[in-house]
Amino acid sequence: MIAETGLAALWLAAALCGLQLVFGVMALRSDDSGVATAIRPVAVVQGILTALAFAMLIWLFLRTDLSVELVAANSHSAKPWLYKFAGTWGNHEGSMLLWVAILAASGALVAVFERRLKEKTLIATLAAQAAIGLGFYAFLLFASNPFARLSPAAAEGRGLNPLLQDPGLAFHPPTLYFGYVGISIAFSFAVGALITRDVGPVFARAMRPWILASWIFLTLGIAAGSYWAYYELGWGGWWFWDPVENASLMPWLAATALLHSVTVLATRDALRAWTIMLAVVAFSMSMLGTFLVRSGVLTSVHAFAVDPRRGTFILALLIIYIGGALALYALRVGTVREGSRFEFMSREGALVVNNVLLSAILGIVLIGTLYPLGVEAVTGEQLSVGPPYFNATAGPLALLLVAAMAVGPLLRWRRDEWRNVMGRISLPVLISSLALFALVMFASPIGILPMLGLILAAGVAAASLAPLWKRNLRRTPLFTYGMVIAHLGIAVSMAGMAFESAFSEEVLVAVRPGDTHQVGPYSVTFDNTRPVAGPNWTAVEAGLTVQRGDGQPFTLAPQARMFSSPQTETSEAAIRTAWNGQLYTVLGNGDGSGRWQLRLWWKPFVTLIWLGGILVAFGGLLSLIGRVRRERKTMEREAWA
């Protein structure tokens, strides 16, 4: 009955979604206030129903109900409960249901909380959200039904990919999806504003918190995914320019650009058409990513069951929605006035530089991700585009972008003078020069990108704090603090990346018990190996005694795990975090005669990468709170007047 309840809830939600679209269109065509007032409750109930359907699926997974096809194919009764729970979205159908649930929840949240937008635009927005929803409900119900029964029931489930059996699975996909799918709100806002020709500062201020919220989740989700890959894959890499990573990075780049252009629109009523375009692009990138990851055109741990029919279905949705939005844009963009102009040397100018660079990086990532697919489709030849390409093309642009980020917040709106700007950035430039001097004098020679990264990070960290200089800190608005912290986070993260790639130490050895090796500040002694068993795996565990200088010795125990269902081997790295970096240890294969492969890394300041990511997200949160508060106050004041 649980599965049937879930399916019924999903069908009902789909029906309400259709109703929401019809009501929206009706309300826009006539001034029927009855239909207009019904649209908000419909959106809310639709959100609740999909949440219910999703809860039902979680319940099925927690009970390991093997009469449900999805559970039998992807779960196992001997799995720890956390992975039964998180395994709900560790498969194609479950993750698509989560996708749709978040889409519906986004619409419901807009229906409940959005008070700033003009009523007509809000109705158009909710109708657009419903139009997207309909396609994906159809995809779920006709091509990816998570509640399909299996008769007779399976005796035991086939289990979950062991790489996914990690607490990361409970956190990374939902967080990422909240951002990934939440940005659909920006898309619907843009479509709504195009329909009602309502692009302006009020619209921008209404849209901004929604962009911020999904951007925060997107940032956290990407950072979490990166750290998960880092400790789970066992080779110490934290970003691989894998197409799946790119699929999450592209919406983030677009959303980051959008976040900045919407500020120009809100403050100065400029960049109108461009902001609308970015809002369309951001969610288009999410849908494109969903297609790439869920259609099976890529092989990855993220691509689950591969079924060509599904790929075609999502591709059709992609073409309809992106094509439709772009067609609407082309029709209406003539009626959107360009807005006011400004000088290059101004806050707006810097934000345009930000947008040009972010868009160029987005374009490069997009080209690099799709080009091999295009070549394969045309010539049948397989081609790889990886880190060397992206580092060489997007790397320099990213550095330029960060440099612009240091200067931008120090500029005035409208126009500024070169002389004054030079004065304001002299201290950060001095700090960067000192960093350059220190690197050249005291460090071993390093690559050009990490070198520039470190120098810039030092100056940018200082520059990011500069907007607080000589200000009354108690009267500085919260969103200014948000910006400062987010920009500081970028500098921190970049420093981590540069340190890691420039100064990491690697030791790959075959060891016998008693052997000691030095890596970074640590000496690592291999004591022994012993067998250990978990609920659904067995493992060989190494005992390592580690000492830093004359400090207290401690032990680390990396494992080589063998999972039984499905049969897979994974390596569980053992990591020691110090204030200035991480010691990363992995146990490899044995040679049968008592020698074991050991991989040891000392990664100085590597944790800054993710700490920076968290700072960026935290800055976003402060900004969000600050903006919402300010909007509230404005609305109260308007109500009084």
Q: Which residues bind another protein (CB under 8 A)?
A: 233-235, 237, 240-244, 270-271, 298-301, 305-306, 341-344, 349, 352-353, 355-357, 359-360, 363-364, 367-368, 371, 375, 379, 381-389, 393-394, 397, 415, 506-510, 569, 571, 588, 597, 599
Q: How far is the CB of 109 from another protein (least distance, A)?
A: 33
Number of Cβ atoms within 10 Å of the Cβ of 280: 24
**Residue among 386 and 551 whose Cβ is closer to another protein:** 386
139 DSSP 8-state letter: I
**Contact partners, residue 42, CB within 8 Å, separation at least 6:** 16, 19, 20, 23
User: CA-based angle 219:224:228, to the nearest 5?
Assistant: 150
The answer to whether 459 touches 406, Cβ cutoff 8 Å, is: yes
The answer to whether 184 touches 325, Cβ cutoff 8 Å, is: no
**Residue among 225 and 234 whose Cβ is closer to another protein:** 234
**Residue among 149 and 517 whose Cβ is closer to another protein:** 517
State how far the Cα of 187 lies from the Cα of 255, in Å rounded to an integer: 11
**Residue among 326 and 465 whose Cβ is closer to another protein:** 326
**Residue among 308 and 551 whose Cβ is closer to another protein:** 308
Q: How far is the CB of 226 from another protein (least distance, A)?
A: 14
Question: Can you say whether residue 339 is alpha, beta or left, with left for phi > 0 and alpha for psi between -120 and 50 degrees?
Answer: left
In angstroms, the Cα distances linking 207 to 185, 199, 333 are 8, 11, 19
Q: How far is the CB of 270 from another protein (least distance, A)?
A: 7
**Residue among 119 and 343 whose Cβ is closer to another protein:** 343
The answer to whether 190 touches 280, Cβ cutoff 8 Å, is: yes
Amino acid, single-letter form, for residue 313: F
Among residues 262, 135, 112, the alpha carbon closest in space to that of 190 is found at 262
Q: How far is the CB of 206 from another protein (least distance, A)?
A: 24
Phi–psi pair at 580, nearest 5 degrees: -110, 20
**Residue among 359 and 623 whose Cβ is closer to another protein:** 359
State how far the Cα of 166 lies from the Cα of 572, in Å rounded to an integer: 10
**Residue among 26 and 562 whose Cβ is closer to another protein:** 562
Helices assigned H by DSSP within 477-553: 478-503
Q: Which residues lie across from 600 on neighbouring strands?
A: 507, 585
Q: How far is the CB of 85 from another protein (least distance, A)?
A: 25
Q: How far is the CB of 95 from another protein (least distance, A)?
A: 17
Among residues 514, 540, 511, 541, the alpha carbon closest in space to that of 525 is found at 514
State how far the Cα of 288 lies from the Cα of 417, in Å rounded to an integer: 42
Q: How far is the CB of 446 from another protein (least distance, A)?
A: 11
Q: How far is the CB of 385 from another protein (least distance, A)?
A: 6
**Residue among 396 and 535 whose Cβ is closer to another protein:** 396
Q: How far is the CB of 258 from another protein (least distance, A)?
A: 16
Q: How far is the CB of 210 from another protein (least distance, A)?
A: 25
**Residue among 192 and 236 whose Cβ is closer to another protein:** 236
Q: How far is the CB of 510 from another protein (least distance, A)?
A: 7
Q: 75: burial class by Cβ within 10 Å (0-12, 13-18, 19+)?
A: buried
**Residue among 363 and 477 whose Cβ is closer to another protein:** 363
In angstroms, the Cα distances linking 445 to 47, 394, 439, 450 are 56, 23, 8, 11
* Sign of the torsion formed by the C-alpha atoms of 102, 103, 108 and 110: positive
The answer to whether 542 touches 526, Cβ cutoff 8 Å, is: yes
